Amino acid sequence: MLIIKENDSDNQYTEIIIDAVHFLYDMVLGPTFNYGYYSNYKITRYTKEDITKLLTSIGFKNVPYVPERYKGIRGAARGYYDVFMK
C-alpha cells in the first residue's frame, strides 16, 4: 500500500506557492535552517495525473480508500491525498 500526500503542481504559480510553503515549514519546523540548500534547490514537478500514470505503469492500482473529507484537490498549494496498492 502506498499512501500519498502531495501537491498537484499544475502551473508556475502553484509551484511558487508550493515552494513558499515548503520553505516556511523547513524554517519553522526544521531542527536547523540551511540557507545553502535553497540556493541550489532543484525539483521535478508532477501533476496528480503524472503520478497516477507513473504508478499505474509499474503495476499499482488507484484505490478509492481516501475518506470523503480528504478527497479532491484543495487549497492554493493544490494538496491532495491518494492511495495505491500493488
Neighbours of 66 (CB within 10 A): 16
- The C-alpha cell at 79 is 494538496
- The C-alpha cell at 69 is 473529507
Domain ranges, ordered by start, for the chain: 2-85
Q: Is the dihedral angle over the CA atoms 33, 39, 43, 45 positive or is it negative?
A: positive
- The C-alpha cell at 32 is 536547523
Q: What is the pLDDT of residue 53?
A: 96
Contact 53, 77 (CB under 8 A): no
Q: What is the pLDDT of residue 50?
A: 94
pLDDT (mean) for 41-66: 89
Global pTM value: 0.71
What is the tens place of the pLDDT at every residue in 56-83?
999 999 998 777 777 788 888 888 889 9
What is the tens place of the pLDDT at every residue in 13-37?
888 888 888 888 888 887 887 777 7
